[in-house]
Amino acid sequence: MRTFSEFQIIGHVGKVRAVGPTLRVDIAADYGRKDETGQFQSNPYWNEVTLFNDRVIAWARDTLKPGDLVHARGTVRQTRYDKDGQTVYGVTLAAEDLDLLSAKAQAAI
Q: What's the structural domain count of the chain? A: 1
Query: Is 26 among the domain residues?
Result: yes
Query: Is 68 among the domain residues?
Result: yes
Q: Given a cut of 90, is residue 77 above it in pLDDT? A: yes
State which residues form the domain around 12. 6-102
CATH number at residue 65: 2.40.50.140
Query: Is 108 among the domain residues?
Result: no
Instruction: Report yes or no on whether pTM surpasses 0.85.
Output: no
Residue 48 pLDDT grade (very low, low, confident, very high; cuts 50, 70, 90): very high
Query: Is 90 among the domain residues?
Result: yes
Residue 104 pLDDT grade (very low, low, confident, very high; cuts 50, 70, 90): confident
CA–CA separation, 66 and 47 (whole Å): 14
Residue type for position 61 = R
Rg (CA), the chain: 17
Using one digit for the tens of pLDDT, what is the confidence trace for 6-28? 999 999 999 999 999 999 999 99
